[in-house]
Amino acid sequence: MAHITKKIVVNAPFSDVVPGAISSSPEFWPEWYVGLSAPTSKKGDGEVGTVSEHSMRIAGRDVPFTHTVVESTNDGIDARWKGTFTGALEGWHQWTYHLVNGHTEIAVEHEYRLTAGPVGKFVDLAFVERVIARMLEHSLENLKMLTEARVAA
């Protein structure tokens, strides 16, 4: 399995970043998560037990998967949100939000593997890992910009 970890600091108070529909509700994910489709089906609004079906555009191919929210905690200083996914893309991702001097640090840990689907058969897996790492980095940057713009407005 590939394992990727990324961090970013959002120049916004914790309360304006978490909880936030933009980061936890599946219908908003494609607005900031690079390569992610809108959900083709969805049960729930981002809370534990929410299940949604998506596809991820990787190396020019759509990779379908089902996503399930398995954890969501928030104590006002730290928050954690975790999801698992199955299908052509399998694994988990965990998003941690931490209050730091009036700003919010977001860390994401992403572990996945490609099953024997269309991407796994035709491309170099090391290439795919680099592509997914960049997608995740750009997604964090998009989430930061959208959140900061919303807070500034």
Residue 106: beta bridge partners? 8, 97
Residue 59: per-residue pLDDT = 78
Amino acid 85: pLDDT:
96
> What is the per-residue pLDDT for 5?
95
Query: What is the rounded distance in angstroms from the CA atom of residue 33 to the CA atom of residue 140?
Result: 8
Over residues 2-12, mean pLDDT: 93
Within a 10 A sphere around the Cβ of 120, how many other Cβ atoms? Answer: 17
Q: Mean pLDDT, to the nearest integer, of 4-27?
A: 85
Neighbouring residues of 60: CB distance < 8 A, sequence distance ≥ 6 = none
Q: Can you tell me the distance from the alpha carbon of 56 to that of 35, in angstroms, rounded to the nearest whole number?
A: 5
Contact 108, 97 (CB under 8 A): no
pTM over 0.75: yes
User: Is the Cβ–Cβ distance between 65 and 54 less than 8 Å?
Assistant: yes
Decide: helix, strand or coil at residue 3: strand
What was the pLDDT predicted at 45?
86
Contact between 83 and 66 under an 8 Å Cβ cutoff? The reply is: no
Tell me the per-residue pLDDT of 109-147, one tens digit each, with 9 for 90 and over.
Answer: 999 987 765 555 555 677 888 888 999 999 999 999 998
Q: Which residues does 75 contact at the CB level (< 8 Å), separation at least 6?
A: none
What pLDDT digit, counting tens, does each position of 71-90 carry? 999 998 899 999 999 998 89
pLDDT of residue 129: 84
- Closest by Cα among 97, 127, 110, 105 to 18: 97
Q: Where are the domains of the chain?
A: 2-152
Please compute the mean of the pLDDT values over residues 15-44 and round it to a whole number.
88
The answer regarding whether domain 2-152 maps to CATH 1.10.150.170 reads no
